[in-house]
């Protein structure tokens, strides 16, 4: 039982790449880059600090300079780096293909991935596969059936491309269990790799914070204290998360989430017990509400970085430990792990980062 392994495990390491799987410290810096809030969707469960329809795009030259900084830091640390680009919707950036092309040129790059909502034309995604190693399509079920069907067809077409790891985040929207089951069957039949993603319910006041495009006064106010507000709202949103799931999903949906086992699922996280290891997928852990490492020593900032579209850099997507600097300015690169202060680790990218229950046990994850 996974619950028993979670209860008894003492350390965590990543399986995201062959280097992660074969070495305790893979010497890879995992970077999540939130490239911008601009998005062409407005999903009810997506927080206002994650998306809007008015934010300006980061200038291409600034992104190129940032990539140069990351390349130089990786060289200094004798590490490689991998980048996962998120948003918003990354592909709505007018220079996005050029950005991917530039990142691909870096000799310290080991992996380049993007998370998209699948709304762009198929030829745009095909062009991006010249530079990407991984592409994740988040399938959002609040869209019309025709849009969902169109996105699924693009997924099936992209799945035939052999030089890329394609993954689908099948968003488990309440009230759509029958549709979810149909989509699972379609993906199974076509050997599409996917995870069934449990949604963390949004705070009820999210929609009250919505800003209308063109409302310059509110936009300026939101931008002024964006980072401080985002950190605070993220913390508030994971409070009582287990109770929120109970009111967000029906009992039938929760049971399905907890019991569903994907036959095509891959393992991206290793749990270390004293005498053995267990390999699972982070979404399986999250579906059972077992994604808690509070008070553990976490290597965010050592193995990972999170770059906000404002240029602020944090240790991880959780944004714990405060900003360590800003792109183009002095960066205080971390040298030691932090003690996790939160009940739930909600981001899959943070979940796979090395962790140890007690620092005396670090031999399980260090060389």
pLDDT in tens, 16-59: 888 888 888 889 999 999 999 999 999 999 988 888 888 889 89
Res 303: pLDDT: 92
Q: Classify residue 349 as exposed, middle or buried by CB count within 10 Å of its CB (0-12, 13-18, 19+).
A: buried
Q: Would the pLDDT of 166 be above 90?
A: yes
Q: Would the pLDDT of 345 be above 90?
A: yes
Q: Would the pLDDT of 197 be above 80?
A: yes
Number of neighbouring beta carbons within 10 Å of residue 113: 19
Q: Which residue has the higher pLDDT, 258 or 205?
A: 258
Domains of the chain: 1-16+268-299+337-367 (no CATH), 27-265+301-336 (3.20.20.70)
H or E element in which residue 154 lies: helix 145-158
In terms of average pLDDT, the best of 12-16, 64-68, 98-102, 232-236 is: 98-102
Model-wide pTM > 0.75 = yes
Q: Over pLDDT 90: what percentage of the chain? A: 67
Residue 277: phi, psi to the nearest 5?
Answer: -130, 155
Q: Would the pLDDT of 77 be above 90?
A: no
- CB-facing half-sphere around the CA of 42: CA atoms within 13 A: 9
Quickly state the pLDDT bin for 246 (edges 50, 70, 90): very high
Distance, CA of 336 to CA of 326 (rounded, Å): 19
Residue 35 contacts residue 85 (beta carbons within 8 Å): yes
Q: Which residue has the higher pLDDT, 24 or 211?
A: 24
In the numeric block, which tokens belong to residue 332?
């205080």
Quickly state the pLDDT bin for 310 (edges 50, 70, 90): confident
Give every CB contact of residue 83 below 8 A, 6+ residues apart in sequence.
31, 32, 33, 70, 103, 109, 111, 112, 113
Q: Which residue has the higher pLDDT, 175 or 208?
A: 175
Give the chain's mean pLDDT: 91
Q: What would the pLDDT profile of 269-301 be if each residue is shown by its tens digit? A: 999 999 899 999 999 999 999 999 999 999 999
Give every CB contact of residue 204 below 8 A, 6+ residues apart in sequence.
none
Q: What single DSSP character describes residue 24?
A: S
Residue 46: phi, psi to the nearest 5?
Answer: -100, 120
Widest distance between CA atoms in the chain: 59
Give every CB contact of residue 311 below 8 A, 6+ residues apart in sequence.
62, 66, 326, 327, 328
């Amino acid at each position: 039982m996974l619950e028993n392994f979670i209860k008894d495990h003492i350390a965590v390491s990543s399986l995201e790449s062959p280097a992660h799987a074969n070495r305790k410290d893979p010497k890879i810096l995992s970077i999540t880059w939130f490239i911008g809030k601009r998005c062409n969707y407005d999903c009810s469960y997506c927080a206002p600090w994650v998306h809007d329809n008015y934010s300006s795009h980061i200038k291409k030259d600034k992104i190129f300079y940032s990539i140069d900084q990351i390349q130089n830091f990786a060289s200094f640390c004798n590490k490689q780096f991998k980048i996962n680009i998120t948003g918003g919707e990354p592909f709505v950036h007018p220079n996005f293909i050029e950005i991917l092309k530039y990142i691909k040129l870096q000799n310290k790059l080991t992996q380049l991935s993007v998370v998209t909502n699948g709304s762009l034309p198929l030829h745009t995604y095909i062009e991006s596969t010249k530079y990407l190693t991984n592409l994740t399509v988040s399938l959002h079920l609040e869209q019309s059936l025709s849009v969902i069907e169109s996105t699924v067809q693009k997924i099936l077409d992209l799945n035939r491309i052999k030089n890329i790891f394609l993954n689908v985040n099948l968003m488990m929207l309440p009230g759509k269990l029958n549709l979810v089951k149909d989509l699972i069957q379609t993906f199974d039949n076509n050997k599409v790799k996917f995870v069934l993603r449990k949604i963390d319910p949004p705070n009820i006041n999210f929609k009250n914070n919505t800003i209308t495009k063109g409302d310059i006064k509110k936009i300026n106010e939101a931008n002024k204290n964006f980072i401080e507000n985002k950190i605070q709202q993220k913390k508030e949103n994971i409070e009582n998360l287990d109770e929120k799931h109970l009111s967000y999903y029906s009992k039938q949906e929760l049971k399905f989430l907890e019991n569903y086992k994907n036959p095509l699922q891959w393992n991206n996280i290793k749990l270390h017990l004293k005498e053995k290891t267990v390999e699972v997928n982070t979404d399986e852990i999250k579906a059972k509400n077992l994604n808690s490492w509070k008070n553990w020593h976490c290597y965010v900032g050592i193995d990972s970085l999170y770059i906000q579209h404002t240029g602020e850099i944090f240790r991880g997507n959780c944004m714990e430990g405060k900003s360590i600097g800003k792109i183009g300015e002095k960066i205080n690169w971390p040298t030691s792990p932090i003690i996790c202060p939160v009940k739930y680790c909600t981001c899959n990218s943070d979940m796979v980062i090395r962790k140890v229950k007690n620092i005396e046990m670090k031999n399980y994850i260090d060389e």
